[in-house]
């Protein structure tokens, strides 16, 4: 029996080699702007995401893996300005702990490491009592979001566009806690440890233990959080305590948090070494092997946008303008502009863009478009950040792990 990956590969090859007639036939309508479609790009109307399992508290999410559980959110379910917990993607590396309310009350977090002056342990109650509380709306995006579009395929969960959220998080600033414990001059990084267990069941193995440089750890928006959208963090998202380092790969925001280390070196925990959450330091040809020594740690995520309304595949009447809206974000940066195209990127229409509610929150955009004739159309969205960097129209530089795909989001529209 062919694997899902082999079947997906053969489908890609067929679509790449398909003729104009075959593409139109598969879609069941003519494609007015087909000559403008970039070479090798498959019409989005021919791609499908299959629901393979169900998470009761997250209806509509697409489950990519059940050991560990990983699930993404279809773009049209991310239309809320503040992402509800029920629509947040799930990315786990190990087995989540089963924590009761009684255990949560007694939860502790240790602050230590080579560059911690006064190692200290805090209970959750003490954290809430000793330090000022802060609430921010913060983007979290998996470093592999968009991996399914890379060719040759990259191994790992085949995320499409839905490994992104922007919820409200409440907690204390990591900076306040670290400064209370004392940060030695030798400090260069922090690392976290957590209560999830390795898939092998070996208690001596950590499923993930990542970190960030001190400058990121000390930002206002980097939190030790206990609440999501004003309620306890749900179990799948780190109950009762998690780290939030927004704008960087969400793997830096450790869940079920029980230890922070102030390091005198780049943190070397699980998923910090080798090729994990790293990309080639220099561009490489698709499919080429890259030595671990030539891989660099991912920091800020790239500029990106999402069309959340309407849902891809809708039917639209020719004479009626189509309202569009969505979100845009840019890692540590802000978004300066969003534009949309209905002719495969040949021309662009500027959108109305709202400012972020706070640093590291996504921004809302909206516009409306009209179509010149009936047939199959795609709407593409492209964001530009405050440094002038824009999303590429097609998948950017290939990398072995399939990270950082920020190609334009596309939806299909049948105009009748």
3-state secondary structure of 55: coil
Q: What is the pLDDT of residue 180?
A: 98
Q: What is the pLDDT of residue 11?
A: 43
Q: What is the pLDDT of residue 48?
A: 65
Tokens found for residue 319: 């004479």
The whole-number mean pLDDT for each consecutive block of 10 residues of the chain, a chain of 416 residues, reads: 41 48 83 90 79 82 92 98 98 96 95 98 97 98 97 94 98 98 98 97 95 98 98 98 98 98 98 96 94 97 98 96 98 98 98 98 98 98 98 94 98 97
CA dist 141 and 163 (Å) reads: 6
Domains and their CATH numbers in the chain: 91-273 (3.90.420.10), 304-415 (2.60.40.650)
Q: What is the pLDDT of residue 40?
A: 80
Are 271 and 93 within 8 A, CB to CB?
yes
CA dist 171 and 243 (Å) reads: 9
Q: What is the pLDDT of residue 28?
A: 86
Neighbour count for residue 194 (Cβ, 10 Å): 24
339 CB-near residues (< 8 Å, 6+ apart): 348, 349, 350, 351, 381, 382, 384
Q: What is the pLDDT of residue 9?
A: 41
Q: What is the pLDDT of residue 42?
A: 86
Mean pLDDT of all residues belonging to the chain: 93
Q: What is the pLDDT of residue 134?
A: 98
Rounded to the nearest 5°, which phi and psi values hold at 259? -160, 140
Q: What is the pLDDT of residue 24?
A: 84
Are 181 and 119 within 8 A, CB to CB?
yes
Q: What is the pLDDT of residue 15?
A: 45
């Amino acid at each position: 029996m062919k694997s899902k990956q082999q079947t997906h590969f053969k489908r890609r090859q067929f679509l790449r080699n398909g003729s104009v007639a075959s593409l139109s036939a598969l879609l069941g309508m003519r494609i007015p702007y087909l000559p403008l479609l970039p070479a090798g790009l498959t019409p989005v109307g021919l791609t499908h995401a299959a629901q393979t399992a169900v998470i009761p508290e997250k209806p509509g999410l697409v489950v990519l893996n059940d050991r560990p559980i990983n699930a993404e959110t279809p773009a049209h379910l991310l239309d809320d300005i503040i992402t509800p917990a029920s629509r947040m993607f799930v990315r786990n590396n190990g087995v989540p702990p089963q924590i009761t309310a009684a255990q949560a009350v007694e939860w502790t977090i240790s602050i230590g490491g080579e560059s911690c002056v006064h190692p200290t342990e805090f209970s959750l109650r003490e954290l809430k009592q000793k330090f000022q509380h802060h609430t921010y709306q913060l983007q979290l995006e998996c470093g592999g979001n968009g991996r399914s579009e890379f060719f040759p395929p990259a191994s790992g969960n085949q995320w499409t566009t839905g490994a992104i959220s922007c919820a409200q998080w409440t907690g204390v600033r990591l900076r306040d806690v670290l400064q209370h414990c004392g940060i030695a001059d030798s400090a260069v990084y922090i690392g976290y440890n957590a209560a999830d267990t390795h898939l092998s069941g070996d208690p001596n193995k950590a499923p993930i233990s990542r970190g960030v440089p001190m400058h990121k750890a000390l930002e206002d928006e980097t939190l030790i959080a206990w609440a999501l959208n004003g309620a306890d963090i749900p179990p799948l998202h780190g109950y009762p305590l998690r780290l939030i380092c927004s704008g960087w790969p969400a793997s830096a925001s450790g869940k079920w948090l029980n230890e922070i280390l102030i390091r005198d070196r780049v943190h070397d925990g699980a998923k910090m070494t080798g090729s994990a959450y790293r990309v080639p330091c220099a561009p490489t040809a698709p499919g080429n092997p890259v030595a671990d020594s030539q891989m660099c740690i991912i920091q800020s995520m790239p500029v990106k946008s999402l069309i959340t309304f309407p849902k891809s595949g809708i039917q639209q009447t020719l004479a009626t303008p189509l309202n569009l809206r969505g979100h845009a974000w840019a890692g540590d940066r802000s978004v300066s502009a969003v534009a949309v195209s209905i002719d495969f990127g040949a021309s662009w229409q500027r959108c109305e863009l709202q400012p972020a509610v706070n640093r590291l929150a996504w921004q809302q955009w909206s516009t409306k478009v009209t179509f010149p004739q009936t047939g199959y159309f795609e709407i593409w969205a492209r964001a530009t950040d405050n440094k002038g960097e824009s999303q590429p129209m097609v998948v950017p530089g290939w990398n072995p792990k399939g990270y950082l795909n920020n190609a334009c989001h596309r939806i299909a529209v049948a105009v009748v």
